[in-house]
Chain A
Amino acid sequence: MKCQDVRKKISAYMDGESGAAMSHRIRQHLSDCAECRKILQDFQETESFIRKLPIYSISPEFTQRVMTELRFDKGTKPAFAPNLLNRILNFFESFFNLLESPKASASIEEFADFPPCSLCKIYFKIL
């Protein structure tokens, strides 16, 4: 095996991801080639460098915050309801959403073509 080919595979070899046959050939090459051995060693050093990062602790109240959020936020319940009660609840929810939606979608752009001071027309349009 050429050094060039070995070096391309050294990273995967380190991770045990180069396959049995390839790993065998790489091992053979490494036993004869100091330069490639040095590269493997460098890679291993960068690895232990990254592993030196401390383990960061998440806030102690994190779990409770997540659980509270998903209990009380209407938008975060599972997207499909596996039982009958949920299906009924979902039905009513989408029904009421439907009723509410026109009001929510009345944006200021809709009134852009009204002349200034035509508040009455705007008022009637909202109604």
Chain B
Amino acid sequence: MTDSDLDLIKAVQAESFLSKTGQQAFEVLVKRYQQPLFNFIYRYVGERSAAEDLAQEVFLRVWQAAPRFEARGKVSTWIFKIAYNLSMNEIKRRRRYQDFYKGFCDNMRAESLFPEQRGSRELEQDIMRALAQIPENQRAALLLRVNEDFSYNEISEILNVSPAAVESLIFRARTKLRELRIEN
């Protein structure tokens, strides 16, 4: 039988940081979430190399904060909340320092990092470009809904806004995407 997320966090909480058991439990959690987290962060931030670093940072924060986790909410929501906050800070930081040559860097990376997927690259770039044109909080809400299948209540916890605000964010994101599609 596979352990639930909560079982794993409890195992981490019960053990000392030096113990094998706690680390093994945590490793299962990392393996369970690394892929969805990485995909969410990459699509949200828009850059692959940053996404992997951020994902690593998320797990270190989860590890540090595990002793204080209270079983009131879901583990998945909690992990994505940490990921969202870190990614949002990264986006803000970039906006301050890097906007000027960001487009250039993105293109360079795109060419060198995905040689295996050249065929589907055009469609992928179209989608990423469309996503980049909707405001960050709308993009986050939409990605959490569409790709991660979180409910509005869960997204409201992750983004720290009301469920009504989540509904509005997703609505506006879809409206914008629809406009973009009609324009093209």
- Which A residues form the contact surface with B (CB < 8 A)? 8, 10-12, 15, 17, 39, 42-43, 45-47, 49-59, 62-63, 65-67, 69-71, 73, 76-83, 85-86
Contact = CB atoms under 8 A, between A and B. Distances in A.
Contacts of B27: 63, 67
B31 interface: yes
Interface residues of B, number: 55
B178 to A, nearest CB: 5
B60 A69 contact: yes
A50 B173 CA distance: 12
Given A43-B174, A70-B63, A77-B64, A58 B120 contact: no
Given A49-B127, A53-B127, A81-B16, 7 more contacts: A12-B171, A45-B181, A49-B181, A56-B48, A66-B30, A78-B66, A82-B16
The 9 A-B residue pairs whose C-beta atoms are closest, nearest first, are A77-B17, A11-B171, A46-B177, A58-B38, A78-B67, A80-B67, A66-B59, A42-B178, A17-B152
A46 B17 contact: no
B170 A79 contact: no
A65 to B, nearest CB: 6
Contact of A52 (B15, B123, B174): B123
Interface string B49-74: 00110011001100111111000000
Interface of B: 12-18, 23, 26-27, 30-31, 34-35, 38-39, 42-43, 48, 51-52, 55-56, 59-60, 63-68, 117, 120, 123-124, 127-128, 130-131, 142-143, 145-147, 151-152, 167, 170-171, 174-175, 177-178, 181-182
Interface of chain B: mostly helix, strand, loop or mixed: helix
Contacts of B143: 50
Contacts of B31: 63
Given A58-B35, A79-B67, A46 B16 contact: no
A58 B34 contact: yes
A83 to B, nearest CB: 5
Contacts of B30: 63, 66-67
Contact of B34 (A11, A50, A62): A62
